[in-house]
Amino acid sequence: MNPLEGILETALYAEDLDKVEAFYAGVLGLQKITRAGNRHVFFRCGPGVLLIFNPEETMQPPEPGSLPVPPHGTKGSGHACFRISRQNIDAMAESLKAAGVAIESDFHWPNGGRSIYFRDPAGNSLECAEAIIWGLD
């Protein structure tokens, strides 16, 4: 049994946190946990947490006296995929379109299971997929 029980935090990066907060909270309906100025905004998502960081700030070493969280940060389009059940994918696709978010791809994988892809305001590639694409239910 591996002691790593799952992924607790998934991170994406965006420089305009106002836009991403409006998107993840407003369009995707995720519950915001906290926001720290223009450094980060964090969301609860099922049994895990989605972290959105501004790399301009997180690439800096921690300030003296603060917790020693190591620096990190990326540029470019990251990727994350949300788990969704088959009966909810159509409604999610409609909800995205109604919010003006383009569906970039929508297909079934060879092993069964559907994925829809779209972008967050920072250009990250997001996906909603049935867990069956990984043999999970």
Binding residues (CB under 8 A) for a second copy: these are 2-11, 13, 28-31, 33, 44-51, 53, 55, 59, 67-85, 88, 91-92, 104-105, 107, 109, 117, 119, 124-125, 127-129, 131, 134, 136
For 1, 10, 54, the CA distances from 80, given in Å and listed in that order, are 26, 8, 17
CB of 18 to a second copy, least distance (A): 21
End-to-end CA distance of the chain: 20
CB of 130 to a second copy, least distance (A): 9
Of 51, 73, 50, which is closest to residue 60 (Cα–Cα)?
73
Nearer of residues 19 and 86 to a second copy, judged by Cβ: 86
